[in-house]
Amino acid sequence: YNSILINNYFKSKPFCKNRTLATIVSFDQRGAMETTVLTPMMQQWLECKTQAKGALLLFRLGDFYEAFEDDAKLISKELELTLTQRQETPMCGIPAHASEGYIERLVMKGHRVAIADQVEDPKKAKGLVSRKLVRIVSPATHIPGGGIQEKTSSYFVSITNLDGRFGLAVIDLASASFTVYETDSVRDLTNELFRISPKEILLSRRFQAKFKELLAEITVSNSISLTVQDDWLFDPKDAQDRLLHHFNVTTLDGFGLKTMLPAITAAGALLHYLGDWQLCPIEHITTLRPQVSTHSMFLDRATLTNLEILEPTDKARSNNSLVSILDETKTAMGARLLRQWLKAPLIDVTAIKSRQDAISDLMQQDNLVAFDEKLCQVRDLERMMYRIKTETAGPKEFVSLRQSLEQLPFIKSFIANCSSSRLKTLSEKLDPHTECAKIIRDALVDNPPFRASDGGLFKMGYNDKLDELLTLRQGSQNWLVAYQERLKLETGIKTLKVGYTRMFGYYIEVSRAQTERVPDTFQRRQTLTNGERYISHELKEYEEKILSADSLIEEIEQRLFQELRKTVASWHDTILQAAKCVAQIDVLRSLAIVAKMRGYVRPEIIEDSAIEIREGRHPIIESLASTSHFVANDLVLDGKDQSLICLTGPNMAGKSTYIRQVALLVIMAQIGSSIPASRAKIGVIDKVFSRIGASDDLARGQSTFMVEMAETASILHQATERSLVILDEIGRGTSTYDGISIAWAVAEHLLKGAKKPKTLFATHYYELTELATKLPGAVNYTVAITETQEGVLFLRRIVPGVADKSYGIHVARLAGMPQSVIARAEELLKKLEQTPPQVKPKPTQPDLFVPKENPVIKALKELDITRLTPIEALVKLDALQKQIINLC
């Protein structure tokens, strides 16, 4: 036997299926058998470790959580803790009272952490204290306390692939949302995952092996942790049974999941994993919805990134994004909802108008300041309730919950006074949970300790027995002070002290010099360097009384706290509903505030397919400190005479800004927001696509041009006549003629196809302006410019027409290029402009873009010199020369 192999076998699978295994057998180099008998405690550890399914295990030992073996090595490295060794077993401990912080740091680094606690009182245990796995925390299920207002949702996703079809299940435990999605295409799956940006993905080993590239692409730019589990967890039949059992139904058709086996499998596996393996509370997950993409505007990954909807493209240079402009929310729930709205704008006119009405309504309320103050005090209800449910919330969080609930009556009545039907409905739906607040208020003091075990959390008058014991303890403390004074008098020892230590209990301390005056009734307990400690009969009696009172108080407090937790948790579902109402109110209020603050107007949302914007502005650029004056611009895209706008102009003129602005305004309008413009009509758009030529995407390991083309191709497949397509310098990633040809063909496809999306095409290829003369529906616009004595001046105004000249050289001059270089460039430009027409093709027909090869060169290329005799060569040379003379 190879001892290393066997050791490794036990290392990777030390805990075999056989739980009673208490002996590890291994063999040394000479083949001699060695057995390691496990202590009962290590057996217990192994059991927990097996159950932890690969998570790091923190094992409670007295006042510490200990990690062993490889876990200890990893944890000591990650947390920079000392690694110790006991009988060849590596160990690493963290103090139990500070464990939350350590666990959080491990989870932030992407680890899963299992916690095994003592489940019986060590004092009462016979033999080994029993320990059990109580919870496993992971990136998506770890909800930290301490009132952090988290603006992004913690989604846990599971993915499957059955017969080529992908199933996706998405859960957010804190808000109890559970949805599924299915698709056949890897591209859709990638987009969806990007949109969700989950914290954690559950998948099978088989999936991991089969879709390596997909997984690499998803995880490259986001910190998503992958949780890979055995294939059998994803058995379709088991998964389905699991869901039926969980929802207590006989068929899933009621959820609209008929035939969605890949989705059902993903959802069932996820519930199984979270509930049974990760020990998360899941009983509050009461519905499962298929996500219907046709209910909201489609925004793919490239569009979300290019338009900087949720994050700036270059985080190092700026932290401005559309959401940062619109986010004036006061609560974490609101902040998260706003992000959800932005990822899925509405496409239903009535629904958009209903949001608009509510916003207009709120804009007219003049007491928003008082309202804001109340809203600010509503903490993260969803996460607090999750922590209460998982029994991780401390007394302070209950007080914080109470204070949050206490704001709801004001919010409810404020909204009730508004006229829009949406706000009225919200007001009716918002249950202020006054009873729950009262129960917490009656129970807990205003400033309780962090942990219930620290004691002193309940108010006087809450529980008679507790009051009695507390009074007794308080009284006996007075007794202790009085006793000390009495002893001083009786013995005449002025320095006599009565005190307490954990180790030795109560004592009477007398300094060395005074020990002779100590009466016989004192018994010596402990000798110190400078004195002695004694105990008296009276003090002994007191000790017994007080210690039993202390442990009783602790017991009662723990029990009361658990009861309180249970009572409050029973409101879990309805408090979540209230949280949802608050989130909506908060987002609508935020949009109202922004509209007021930034001078936005309410666009008219129409069924008709046309977009008309007067004096529109780019919401992000106009808000930059570096933009002193933003020039507003109009836009008309009626889908008929004006379907495709070809926008030309020099570098830095404002092309990209303008076309992005249009897309941003449409998205804003469709979440219900007001927009930076003087007036606008927006015909609802179903999908927005935004592509930038040759974007640098080296991280994804594809050539930039390939990415550009792949992204453009996906538009051509997906766009409909109700879509908006923004193409910025498409074709830039390749040589000029190639680029122009591709850009031309793309534009032609978009205009001539069965489905004509509204398109904005920004390009510096002057040749493309010919499109307008060839294709009905295409029009040319350019960015106005004037030439002054100092050089070009960008007016930033978008006007009909064509940029007739390349201003590149002017821009170069502005950029401080040496005068000699500028002069030479101008000279070269003149020469190029005079070159014969076949070199600079007229963009009449796309195929003309490919320059015709000179026939002489062609003939020369085809010539096989090895077969020519000298005479033949001369004849050929003569012919070619004649041909050239003729050509010129």
CB neighbours of 330 closer than 8 A, spacing ≥ 6? 372, 375, 376, 378, 586, 589, 590
- Report the partner that residue 649 touches, choosing among Mg ion, ligand ADP, none (CB closer than 5 to 8 A by kind): ligand ADP
Closest by CA to 98, choosing from 64, 74, 136, 68, is 64
* Site for Mg ion, residues 654 to 713, rule: CB under 5 A: 656
The answer to whether the Cα torsion of 318, 314, 326, 573 is positive or negative is negative
Among 83, 162, 552, 652, binds ligand ADP (CB under 6 A): 652
Among 589, 655, 691, 732, binds ligand ADP (CB under 6 A): 655
Sheet order of strands, 200-204 included? 225-229, 200-204, 156-162, 165-172, 177-183, 289-290
- Report the partner that residue 630 touches, choosing among ligand ADP, Mg ion, none (CB closer than 5 to 8 A by kind): ligand ADP
- What are the respective helix, strand and coil percentages of the chain, to the nearest 5? 50, 20, 35
- Told to check if 730 binds ligand ADP by CB under 6 A, we report no
Among 377, 627, 702, 704, binds ligand ADP (CB under 6 A): 627
> Do residues 104 and 114 touch, judged by C-beta distance below 8 A?
no
Nearest distance in Å: CB 447, ligand ADP: 51
SS (HEC) of 576-592: HHHHHHHHHHHHHHHHH
Residue 352's CB: how many other CB atoms inside 10 A? 21
Taking the least distance from each CB to ligand ADP, the nearer of 350 and 786 is 786
| Among 145-153, 163-171, 650-658, 811-819, the segment contacting ligand ADP (CB under 6 A) | 650-658
- Report the partner that residue 219 touches, choosing among ligand ADP, Mg ion, none (CB closer than 5 to 8 A by kind): none
> Do residues 198 and 140 touch, judged by C-beta distance below 8 A?
yes
- Told to check if 427 binds ligand ADP by CB under 6 A, we report no
Nearest distance in Å: CB 622, ligand ADP: 7
Taking the least distance from each CB to ligand ADP, the nearer of 293 and 651 is 651
In angstroms, rounded to a whole number, what is the distance separating the alpha carbons of residues 114 and 136? 4
Tokens standing for 502? 């954990």
| Among 118-126, 158-166, 487-495, 648-656, the segment contacting ligand ADP (CB under 6 A) | 648-656
Taking the least distance from each CB to ligand ADP, the nearer of 351 and 811 is 811
Q: Which residue is nearest to ligand ADP (CB)?
A: 654
- Told to check if 400 binds Mg ion by CB under 5 A, we report no
* DSSP codes of every residue in 725-791: EEEESTTTTS-HHHHHHHHHHHHHHHHHSSS--EEEEEES-GGGGGHHHHSTTEEEEEEEEEEETTE
* Site for Mg ion, residues 468 to 507, rule: CB under 5 A: none
- Told to check if 691 binds ligand ADP by CB under 6 A, we report no
Q: Is 340 exposed, middle or buried (0-12, 13-18, 19+ CB in 10 A)?
A: middle
What is the C-alpha end-to-end distance of the chain, expressed in Å? 88
Nearest distance in Å: CB 756, ligand ADP: 25
Taking the least distance from each CB to ligand ADP, the nearer of 726 and 751 is 726
Nearest distance in Å: CB 620, ligand ADP: 10
| Among 357-365, 409-417, 508-516, 652-660, the segment contacting ligand ADP (CB under 6 A) | 652-660
Taking the least distance from each CB to ligand ADP, the nearer of 274 and 792 is 792
Nearest distance in Å: CB 630, ligand ADP: 4
The residue whose two tokens read 């009565």 is 498
- Told to check if 651 binds ligand ADP by CB under 6 A, we report yes
- Report the partner that residue 234 touches, choosing among ligand ADP, Mg ion, none (CB closer than 5 to 8 A by kind): none
The residue whose two tokens read 């009461």 is 286
- Told to check if 653 binds ligand ADP by CB under 6 A, we report yes
Taking the least distance from each CB to ligand ADP, the nearer of 6 and 621 is 621
Taking the least distance from each CB to ligand ADP, the nearer of 561 and 630 is 630
CB neighbours of 195 closer than 8 A, spacing ≥ 6? 299, 301, 304, 343, 344
Tokens standing for 477? 């403390």
| Among 118-126, 460-468, 505-513, 651-659, the segment contacting Mg ion (CB under 5 A) | 651-659
Interior angle at CA 573, CA 571 and CA 578, nearest 5: 90
- Told to check if 407 binds ligand ADP by CB under 6 A, we report no
Nearest distance in Å: CB 621, ligand ADP: 5
Among 796, 803, 809, 810, binds ligand ADP (CB under 6 A): 796
| Rounded alpha-carbon distances, angstroms, from residue 526 to 23, 503, 532 | 45, 11, 6
- Report the partner that residue 463 touches, choosing among ligand ADP, Mg ion, none (CB closer than 5 to 8 A by kind): none
In angstroms, rounded to a whole number, what is the distance separating the alpha carbons of residues 665 and 613? 9
- Told to check if 656 binds ligand ADP by CB under 6 A, we report yes
**What DSSP state is assigned to residue 699?**
G
Q: Is 46 exposed, middle or buried (0-12, 13-18, 19+ CB in 10 A)?
A: buried
Q: Which residues pair with 501 in a beta bridge?
A: 505
| Among 11-19, 547-555, 627-635, 714-722, the segment contacting ligand ADP (CB under 6 A) | 627-635
| Among 46-54, 157-165, 257-265, 654-662, the segment contacting ligand ADP (CB under 6 A) | 654-662
Number of residues located near ligand ADP, criterion CB under 6 A:
13
Among 171, 631, 750, 751, binds ligand ADP (CB under 6 A): 631
In angstroms, rounded to a whole number, what is the distance separating the alpha carbons of residues 268 and 242? 6
Among 138, 175, 303, 657, binds ligand ADP (CB under 6 A): 657
Closest by CA to 308, choosing from 746, 653, 668, 590, is 668
Taking the least distance from each CB to ligand ADP, the nearer of 55 and 631 is 631
- Told to check if 383 binds ligand ADP by CB under 6 A, we report no
Give the interface with ligand ADP as residue ranges (CB under 6 A).
621, 627, 630-631, 649, 651-657, 796
Give the interface with Mg ion as residue ranges (CB under 5 A).
656
